[in-house]
Amino acid sequence: MFLLVEKVQNTLSYKLKYVNMGSGMGVQYSKSDVPLDLDRLKNDVIVINNAGSYAAVLSPM
């Protein structure tokens, strides 16, 4: 998702303030769905928020 945000910003030459990642992340709808890697998500959000380009916002589940 973060790579998509960067691509959109670069393509449109527009800087976003926030990216709301929505809710329901990690919900497994079928047995083949891969579980959400919370540690990776946490680390990605920290990196993005520290970069200051935009804030990644997580909605509660």
- Per-residue pLDDT of 1-28, as tens digits, reads 778 888 888 899 988 888 777 777 778 8
The tens digit of pLDDT for each residue in 32-46 reads 998 888 888 888 878
- Would you say residue 61 has pLDDT above 60? no
The CA distance from 38 to 35, in Å, is 9
pTM of the predicted structure, to 2 decimals: 0.56
Q: Which residues contact 48 (CB under 8 A, 6 or more apart)?
A: 2, 19, 54, 55, 56
Find how far residue 42's CA is from the centre of its chain.
10
Which spans in 1-61 are helix H? 2-12, 38-51
60 pLDDT band, cuts 50/70/90, is low
